[in-house]
Chains A and B, each alone.
Chain A
Amino acid sequence: MMIEVQLFESEKIRLAPIDHEKDAEVESIWTFDAEYLRLLSLEPARALCPAQIKKKYEKIEKEAEESKSLFYFTIRTRPEDRLIGFARLYGVEWANGVASIQLGIGDHQDHRRGYGLDVLRLLLRYAFAELNLYRLAAIIPAYNQPALGLFEKAGFVEEVRRRQAVNRDGQRWDLIHLGILRPEWAERNG
Chain B
Amino acid sequence: MKKNLFRGRLVRLIAGDPGILAENYVRWGRNTEFTRHLFREPAVLWSAKKYKDWIEQDIEKDNPDEFFFDICTLDNERPIGFIGLFNLLWNHGDAMVSIGIGDPENWGRGYGTDAMLLILRYAFQELNIQRVTLGVFDYNKRAIRSYEKAGFKLEGRVRQAIQRDGAREDVLYMGVLREEWEAENELHNPGSLEYATEESGKG
List chain A positions with a Cβ less than 8 A from chain B.
42-44, 93, 95-98, 134-135, 137, 158-167, 172, 175, 177, 179, 181
Contact = CB atoms under 8 A, between A and B. Distances in A.
B130 A167 contact: yes
A109 to B, nearest CB: 29
Contacts of B66: none
A101 to B, nearest CB: 14
Interface string B179-195: 00000000000000000
B94 interface: yes
Q: Is the interface of B mostly helix, strand, loop or mixed?
A: strand
Contacts of B159: 135, 159, 179, 181
Given A93-B41, A165-B133, A167-B91, A160 B173 contact: yes
A124 to B, nearest CB: 16
14 contacts: A42-B91, A96-B40, A96-B161, A98-B162, A158-B156, A160-B157, A160-B158, A161-B156, A162-B94, A162-B173, A163-B155, A163-B177, A166-B92, A172-B130
Main secondary structure of the interface of A (DSSP, over half): strand
Nearest to A172: B130
B163 interface: yes
B168 interface: yes
Contact of A134 (B155, B156, B163, B173): B163
Nearest to B163: A96
A175 B92 CA distance: 11
Contacts of A135: 159-161
Given A42-B92, A95-B41, A160 B155 contact: yes
Contact of A167 (B42, B92, B160, B163): B92
Contacts of A93: 40-41
**7 nearest CB pairs, A to B:** A160-B156, A160-B173, A165-B94, A96-B162, A95-B42, A167-B92, A159-B156
Nearest to B170: A159
Interface string B129-173: 011010000000000000000000001111111110000100001
Interface in B76-96: 89, 91-94
A96 B40 CA distance: 8
B155 A162 contact: yes
B144 to A, nearest CB: 15
A68 B19 CA distance: 31
B169 to A, nearest CB: 9
A98 B157 CA distance: 15
A167 B157 CA distance: 23
